[in-house]
Amino acid sequence: MKRDVKQGLEKDPAGAAGTPDGWVAAVQLTERWLARSERVDALLEGLTPALAPRERARAQHLFYGVVRWAGRLETALVGLMAHPPRTKVRAVLHVAGFELLEGGADATAQIVHHAVGKAKNVASPKEAGLVNAVARKLAGRLAEKPASLAEEFAHPDWLVARWEKQFGREVTRQLLEWNQRAAPVYARWRDPAAPVPDFLAPTNWPGFFEVKAGRWDEVRRLAAAGALYVQDPSTRLSVELLAPQPDECVLDCCAAPGGKSLLIADTMKTGRLVALDEPGGRLDRLKENLTRAPQGVTVSLAQADLRAVASPFYRQLNLPETYDAVLLDAPCSNTGVMRHRVDVKWRLQEGDFAQHGRQQLELLHAAARMVRPGGRLVYSTCSIDAQENEQVSKAFFDSRAGGPFKLERSALAYPWKDGHDGVGAFLLRKS
């Protein structure tokens, strides 16, 4: 089966007429995700270039919808088939199921008819008959009132219970609704002196614009030219707290893929920026982004685990051993960015919060050693969980290493209040 899934994705997704088809591409992506639990971003990167922009957008929309609503779709499918079908057929039912959720009762007949027709080509005529029978029953199941918030909004039970304990039921509902909506695409315009294209719509956050649908080719061209960077407005908060100044020496500790590094460089305009991260697949994007830094900023890239290196490492690379400002945007649960990272909720485990907290505190201790007297350190996450934000900050100040530091400011952004991704950021000043 695995070999069949792989071969299916490598072929051009086509409808009956042989034209590359976003619906079929979504089925192939879903098939592979169901079979292997591969990361959504990695699957999308492998999407065939033969798809036209409109069909590519359709494939992504359908696939994201399936992943967002997978829990509810799986629950609704329970008991509708005597025997488990092929993964390909499950994928067809998931895509059709998302369309049924999105389209409502009035569109049921059209959605089922379309799914059956496609199933004849991507599966077999016999399996298309199964799709016809199951999809009609599935429509009725999906129209029923869900038994719980977790089922209604397709999130794990334990995670919803955790949020209800932290935020209360009504706020949790607002967060779940937020996570289930498709995310707008935002871009940061990098040159304030240059005119902003009309297709970039202003937002509540200066310098950030919403990218309207159908202009992705132009956005790609402008990004390649360095005019803009695709970036959520929430990313500005940690850099605003850091407040990098011209001619300062700044260290970005967990820099890949480089969006915040580039924002730091754009803010400084002149000075020195060192971007540090562990070796891995995202370093290529970090290197590419650093090439777009303003000419007045000297940029260096260092590959290492921040916790495993000390002064000799920096000396060997002719890099500063202490810095005016240090940003630690630590790896986290990503609970603040689930609208963008739609598969995170299915990969996250209850024990991950404590594990992240321990790692984050280790990183914070390591980052603190890099701050010169009088310098600044910003600890940030894209989590909305106190165990990764306030509790890590408190644990640091309760330790011996926290003695020379004081907390000057903090910023906690919550999607249901701030209208963008969730963030925790803490500005620490060293005496």
Nearest to 272, CA basis, from 292, 291, 245 = 245
- Our CA angle for 355, 358, 363, nearest 5°, is 125
Residue 339 and residue 181 in contact, taking contact as beta carbons nearer than 8 Å: yes
Beta-carbon contacts of 383 under 8 Å, excluding residues fewer than 6 positions away, are: 332, 333, 334, 335, 336, 356, 389, 422, 424
Is 382 known to be catalytic? yes
Residue 368 and residue 377 in contact, taking contact as beta carbons nearer than 8 Å: yes
Q: CA-to-CA distance for 421 and 219, rounded, in angstroms?
A: 21
**Where does 216-278 have alpha helices with state H?**
216-224, 236-242, 259-268
- DSSP conformation class of 14: B
Q: CA-to-CA distance for 206 and 420, rounded, in angstroms?
A: 14
Residue 110 and residue 137 in contact, taking contact as beta carbons nearer than 8 Å: no
- What's the CA dihedral at 240, 264, 195, 289 to 10 degrees? -140
Residue 23 and residue 118 in contact, taking contact as beta carbons nearer than 8 Å: yes
Lay out the sheet containing 248-252: strands in order across: 297-303, 271-277, 248-252, 323-329, 371-381, 423-430, 405-413
Catalytic center residues:
382
